[in-house]
């Protein structure tokens, strides 16, 4: 049997009714619905962007580590919405990937330029030696 409660839009609830009752668990006790709604409202009210600890954008892996550690502490204390923590972790993961690429570029590109210069010098030195052998 389905719950007999008619919703505000005129449609029926659709949930299964409690055994021997006309309504589901939520509609059988109106106080329960208010209590559950209040809990959800209180949970959302705790997490306000105004309460977030300000920080400057991280530039290093150590700064990302510190941000993640702070977020973990705040989440466990109930001061930070778990959805915000999830977003921070996703962003930190992308930051880490970008940091790896930047580090590779910063290290590899100068080495490649240095190697190219050395090859150019070696090539010029070899030519000088060949020219001096031909004339000598």
Segment 1-12, tens digit of pLDDT: 888 888 888 888
**pLDDT one-digit tens code per residue, 84-135:** 889 989 999 999 888 888 888 888 888 888 888 888 777 666 666 676 777 6
Average pLDDT value for residue range 35-60: 68
Three-class SS of residue 45?
helix
pLDDT at 46 over 60: no
Calpha distance 105→111 (Å, rounded)? 10
Q: CB of 20 within 8 A of CB of 2?
A: no
Tell me how many degrees the CA angle 24-28-34 measures, rounded to the nearest 5: 105
CA–CA separation, 42 vs 37, rounded Å?
9
Segments making up each domain of the chain, as ranges: 1-46, 53-135
47: left (phi over 0), alpha (psi -120 to 50) or beta: beta
pLDDT at residue 113, rounded to an integer: 86
Among 52, 49, 55, 58, which Cα is nearest to 91's?
Answer: 58
């Amino acid at each position: 049997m389905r719950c007999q409660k008619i919703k505000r839009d005129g449609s029926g609830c659709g949930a299964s009714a409690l055994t021997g009752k006309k309504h589901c668990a939520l509609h059988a006790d109106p106080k329960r619905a208010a209590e559950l709604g209040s809990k959800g409202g209180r949970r959302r009210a705790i997490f306000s962007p105004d309460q977030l600890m300000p920080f400057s954008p991280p530039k290093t892996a150590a700064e990302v580590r510190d941000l993640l550690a702070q977020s973990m502490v705040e989440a466990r204390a109930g001061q930070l919405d778990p959805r915000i923590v999830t977003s921070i972790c996703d962003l930190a993961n992308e930051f880490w990937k970008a940091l790896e690429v930047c580090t590779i570029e910063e290290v590899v590109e100068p080495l490649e330029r240095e190697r190219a210069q050395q090859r150019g010098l070696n090539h010029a030195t070899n030519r000088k030696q060949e020219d001096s052998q031909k004339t000598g």
